[in-house]
Amino acid sequence: MQELTRQTTPACKKQTSVLIAMPMLSLCGCEGVQSSLHPRGPHAQAIADIGWLMFGGAAAILLLVMTLALYAIYRPPAQRRTLSSHVLIAVGGLAFPVVTLSLLLGYGVTSMAKLRAHPVAQDAASIEVVGNRWWWDVHYRDADGSLMTTANEVRIPAGVPVTVVVRSDDVIHSFWVPNLTGKVDLIPGRRNHVVLHADMPGSFRGQCAEFCGAQHARMAFHVIAETPEAHAAWQQAQRAPARAPTEPEAIRGREAFISAGCVACHTVRGVGTARASGPDLTHVGSRSFIAAGTLENTRDNLADYIARSQVLKPGSGMPLYSELDEATLDAIAAYLESLE
């Protein structure tokens, strides 16, 4: 009795409530963004179903084991002895795990086969994502073979499965959009694929899920599912070369962009098409984020990133342009913002 009283001191109550609150808070913190608990397509749903089944099963087994443990501790010796019967050990310790784990394996393998089945040789199979340290190249190949490149944003039509081929030329990355599907590794020398299938239009955050160096955590991207009509219009707009700036500040920015040497690494179709070692910026103004999901795409953030790339994303391939004055930075940012 004394022990029980000790267990319910205020400090102990506080500890218990913290233990209960922490997992609850972590669940609330997801709010559906980049969360596999909020599936938004059939593939993510299948993965969530496996997760909930395993969670439910594990919780039931934990409850059963704890009940048996309490029974073994607190019941009188005569009753406890029933737990050591050979039948119970054979059923509970051997037959039950063998049957349960076999069923789970069968369910997992069947679900995996469904996830791996992918429609090949349709138009959408022409999307290719290449992982770089630390950003994503996204290529769209048309039926006639023409190529269009964008970065850090994968746009797909909603309501249909879309196969995306993924590869890497440097280190292993992993492509993961929890709301839509599971992880797939980008392995140098291999071409893997993943099927993206969103039920409804929406924007889904993705993240590199394999440690790939200093800025692994800032290697995010967005998958944007849109109606087939909106997607076709977007593709057509993206295939066009960069629009010429009309605003005086953006015109100055275009000159500065060329003279500062930005075109040596960034392709802006219609301005410079050197082999781009950095993201294609032809329509950068149409994207929601810059620097692979690091910053929202605003004029201030564009200027800030050009001036302080090695502070905001140390180790990235983007050199520092701290020698550019504020007016020039603003002009370049205005120009990039106009590239819709």
Nearer to ligand CUA, 219 or 318 (CB): 219
CB atoms within 10 A of CB 96: 13
Q: What is the DSSP letter of 242?
A: P
Joined tokens for residue 242: 């960069």
Nearer to ligand CUA, 141 or 216 (CB): 216
Q: How far is the CB of 192 from ligand CUA (least distance, A)?
A: 14
Joined tokens for residue 68: 């048996």
Q: How far is the CB of 206 from ligand CUA (least distance, A)?
A: 11
Q: How far is the CB of 165 from ligand CUA (least distance, A)?
A: 17
Angle between helices 299-312 and 326-338 in degrees, nearest 10: 120
Cβ–Cβ < 8 Å for 171, 162: no
Q: Distances in Å between the alpha carbon of 31 and those of 27, 45, 179? A: 8, 17, 11
Nearer to ligand CUA, 175 or 335 (CB): 175
Q: How far is the CB of 169 from ligand CUA (least distance, A)?
A: 12
Nearer to ligand CUA, 39 or 131 (CB): 131
Sheet containing strand 173-176, edge to edge, reads 153-157, 220-226, 202-208, 173-176, 184-186
Task: State the Cα–Cα distance between residues 127 and 147, nearest whole angstrom.
Answer: 10
Q: How far is the CB of 176 from ligand CUA (least distance, A)?
A: 10
Nearer to ligand CUA, 208 or 332 (CB): 208
Q: How far is the CB of 80 from ligand CUA (least distance, A)?
A: 52
- List contacts with ligand CUA (CB under 6 A): 131, 134, 173, 208, 210-212, 216, 219
Nearer to ligand CUA, 134 or 204 (CB): 134
Joined tokens for residue 92: 């509970």
Within 8 A by CB and 6+ apart from 13, the residues are none
